[in-house]
Structure 1
Amino acid sequence: MSLAWNASTDNVGVTGYGVYRGGTLVTTVTGTSFTDTGLSAGTAYTYTVRARDAAGNQSANSNQITATTSGGGGDTTAPSVPGNLRSTGVSSSSVSLAWNASTDNVGVTGYGVYRGGTLVTTVTGTSFTDTGLSAGTAYTYTVRARDAAGNQSANSNQITATTTTGGGGGGKKVLGYFVQWGVYQRAYHVKNIDTSGSAAKLTHINYAFGNVQNGQCTIGDSNADYDRFYSAAESVDGVADTWDAGALRGNFNQLRKLKQKYPNLKVLFSFGGWTWSGGFGQAAANPAAFAESCYRLVEDPRWADVFDGIDIDWEYPNACGLTCDTSGPASFRNLMSALRARFGSGNLVTAAITADGTSGGKIDAADYGGAAQYLDWYNVMTYDYFGAWAAQGPTAPHSPLTSYTGIPQAGFHSDQAIQKLKSKGVPASKLLLGIGFYGRGWTGVTQSAPGGTATGPAPGTFEQGIEDYKVLKTRCPATGTIAGTAYAHCGNQWWSYDTPSTIGGKMGYSKDQGLGGAFFWELSGDTTNGELITAMRNGLG
């Protein structure tokens, strides 16, 4: 039985809708449609819907409708039993589940997830996170597959998982990227990390980027990295650089001074990125040689004290970014194994990875699960799902936390990526949620809600279709929220970006999922007083 209704309004915001069958709550959804499955053929069912807000206030019942299922068909074969039901992570208020897909003579349409024998929800994928649970409590689950004719499989294996105790299971890492080219047009220097108050709220900085050429780690911009002269006014400690032979200057020296001021701050040297990932395929042919070149560069005696480890930003193993890779499914794991062996346990080894969690998507193209044992954590790039590279739209938020009705591509959202990585065996504590300190936008848009058409990318300071939060917050203030992020319609432009409020919600998700914390791209997009990083720090506690 497929249902739809018009959206409710609220003085603060509607958070979901309760769907009632015969007066009994069936499920709660965030969108304005729901398909009730597993019903009997040729049977009448009565439904109502009630809206809820974050404070727990509920609307009155909607109009009541009665609809009758069809008389049934010739398919009487049930799907196979879902295999290997397992828990992929717990927090103080959630249990994450995953299972192997069932098969069917016609086709599996969904899975019913049961807690203690009671149906919690129906999902189309092979993972689910059950939220709103009590801390320190054991919960028992089974899963059943369904097909379009209403046939259900037998129960899967039963598992029991216990939520953690305490008020939030997440880590508190706050990691930000500092981009070397920011010292030019953007005029954003290491000193700005201090004066904005951001340095005191960061736990880690990723310095972007080193280049990967001919299978080796190399310097990307020697002037910005270690040669640019900093005057006393520009310097973190108010002391000018010297031109003495062998003296370290540039960003590396400024980072050294920043770490002296903030002794707990860690800095990683990040290699690759969108532009400089082309050399990873060759590096994968000889992982030990690549790891050796990286170690010698990161631990160069001129700046060895600046860096606490290495970050790999390979976009993307066995998939296409600016360049396409065909190095093979084991290449990423082999590269990470070699880096860990060379850098040892005393250095951090991390990686920024794709957030494409769709079936057959970029997460499936590399062994992120197998490589996790060698890494301290993954920075999951849960942004840039949608943007004005689709010049005519539809308009959509570039960093949705969850799915929503009308999303242009199913599964293109942060939660899908996190659950997919958990299902592959990556511990939740080794996942950091990604936040963009920028927006993506279109022009020629008349519709304020997502899903509108456009004529092209909106103008941006440095590039069409993209703009810093610090500019957008006043030039095109947020006019609505969807899927845990904000959007704005001003004139004929439509933008999506995160605000302090939506970041607070995403940090709550990070804690609820038991993640290691969150990271962002990148420091120069924030306000001069660090509004967004403050929201991250406060949200993680």
Structure 2
Amino acid sequence: MLKLHRPRARLRALAAAACTAALGATLLGVAGMSPAGATPAAQPAAAPAAAEAAPTTAGDKVIGYFTNWGTYDRNYHVKNIETSGSADKLTHINYAFGNVTGGKCTIGDSYADYEKAYTADQSVDGVADTWDQPLRGNFNQLRKLKKLHPDLKILWSFGGWTWSGGFGQAAQNPAAFAKSCRDLVEDPRWADVFDGIDIDWEYPNACGLTCDTSGRDAYGNLLGELRKSFGTDLVTSAITADGSDGGKIDAVDYAGAAKHLDWYLPMTYDFFGAWEAKGPTAPHSPLTSYPGVPTEGFNSDAAISKLKALGIPPEKLLLGIGFYGRGWTGVTQSEPGGSATGAAAGTYEAGIEDYRVLKNSCPATGKVAGTAYAHCGTNWWSYDTPETIGTKMNYKNEQGLGGTFFWELSGDTGNGELIKAIR
């Protein structure tokens, strides 16, 4: 889009009308999107031998999403990952997003990705970009960050809430799609930056921003071809956390597709929000159910339990955390379940605000279902705090999950308050 870089969540109302007729499901998911950009002339790269993904060590992964559009309105750069202390605590970064168009993986924002020149004070290592260097932008800054942290892995994430519409076409020729992704991720200009690919398809055989009708097996077929193309490199996927009966988890063979993946990232946030303008108010990332929850199955434990019951190894499941809150205005009731008049004002979009802002502007006043909420004036917000993240980390350990991921890095405080609670 030409109005650049909306924050992660899209208003769900437009999609809800289409989805209600098709599935009658409430929308969930990650990621607003940044503008379309031109695809570079990718150079083919030899793919390593295919290998089925093996379960990895449980509990030790900490994965943060970094958005390319954050370099604009949010003024959040790769250097901030280092100066906040977050880089020391991350095991992986998911770079969001690449687009999916014409059945192929394509560049999301060429300027932010590899064209923007960084000055010395903006650069990770204090060295300014030159006009004639072959790679600039976020990709070069990520390369510098990896030099400081040799164990840090970076995956390029494709799709997201706005750009998932192209997956249906990609699924018609998954082998060609996989080759295009491999060629782009392994382009010689930045092949050393990325260690794999993350697929954020919202949602296979279900409704997201649009309704997908590619079929129950399309997702697994596409991931199978990606595994063949990427061999022993990382292949991961962010997926729905709709644990309701007949919900989005049931629409796809996630258990069958798991063999192609190193891990899943169930998006255990955005369960409720001010797209329901009049409420009832409800925490957007409850760990468990609670009396009065608007929709049963819309909580982290329901999603994790359902995915484990399908036979997916717990070490291939990560617990998702939102570094932001969702809120309403016109609220008189402090506890969840109150009525509202609309979405609370936010810095970038109504109804959503970063934790780094909310911790001061509307401090938490209560807890419910393993997360926090705040009632200040007539505004009502829900979000995670270091304390509630600690509760969720206990749950993650008890369940034997493979680790934690979060959306997204710029929502944390300047000293990495939330990621410290994870780590």
The TM tier, using the shorter chain, reads 0.7 to 0.9
| Largest Rg, 1 or 2 | 1
Show the 5 A alignment for 1:218-367.
Answer: 218-244=106-132, 247-345=134-232, 347-367=233-253
Which structure has more relative contact order (CA 8 Å, sep 6+)? It is 2
Shift of 1:479: 0.2
Q: Is the 8 A contact 1:352 1:380 kept in 2?
A: yes
Shift of 1:395: 0.4
* 1:394-427 per-position Cα deviation (integer Å, ceiling 9, x unaligned): 0000000000000001111000000110111110
Mapped partners of 1:326, 1:293: distance in 2:
22
Report sequence identity in percent. Answer: 75
Secondary structure in 2 matching 1:481: strand
Mapped partners of 1:324, 1:208: distance in 2:
22
Match of 1:172 in 2: 60
Q: 4+ runs of 1 displaced by more than 4 Å?
A: none
Mapped partners of 1:360, 1:449: distance in 2:
29
Mapped partners of 1:521, 1:443: distance in 2:
24
Q: 160, 180, 186: which is aligned to 2:74?
A: 186
Mapped partners of 2:215, 2:278: distance in 1:
35
The letter of the residue matching 1:174 is V
Match of 1:204 in 2: 92
* 1:166-196 per-position Cα deviation (integer Å, ceiling 9, x unaligned): xxx9411000000000000100000000000
Mapped partners of 2:267, 2:73: distance in 1:
25
Structure with bigger helix share is: 2
The letter of the residue matching 2:350 is Q
Secondary structure in 1 matching 2:162: coil
Would you say 1:425 and 2:311 are equivalent positions?
yes
Report the count of equivalent residues: 367
The letter of the residue matching 1:342 is S
Q: 72, 82, 104: which is aligned to 1:216?
A: 104
The letter of the residue matching 1:393 is G
- TM-score, normalised on structure 1? 0.67
* 1:100-148 per-position Cα deviation (integer Å, ceiling 9, x unaligned): xxxxxxxxxxxxxxxxxxxxxxxxxxxxxxxxxxxxxxxxxxxxxxxxx
- TM-score, normalised on structure 2? 0.86
Match of 2:266 in 1: 380
Structure with bigger strand share is: 1
Instruction: Give unmatched runs, 5+ long, in structure 2.
Output: 1-56
CA RMSD of aligned residues (A): 0.7
Show the 5 A alignment for 1:441-480.
Answer: 441-480=327-366
Secondary structure in 1 matching 2:235: strand
Q: Is the 8 A contact 1:179 1:522 kept in 2?
A: yes
Instruction: Give unmatched runs, 5+ long, in structure 1.
Output: 1-168
Mapped partners of 2:217, 2:398: distance in 1:
32
* 1:238-284 per-position Cα deviation (integer Å, ceiling 9, x unaligned): 0011111x610000000000000000000000000001101100110
Would you say 1:512 and 2:406 are equivalent positions?
no
Q: Is the 8 A contact 1:333 1:371 kept in 2?
A: yes
Q: 373, 388, 400: which is aligned to 1:502?
A: 388
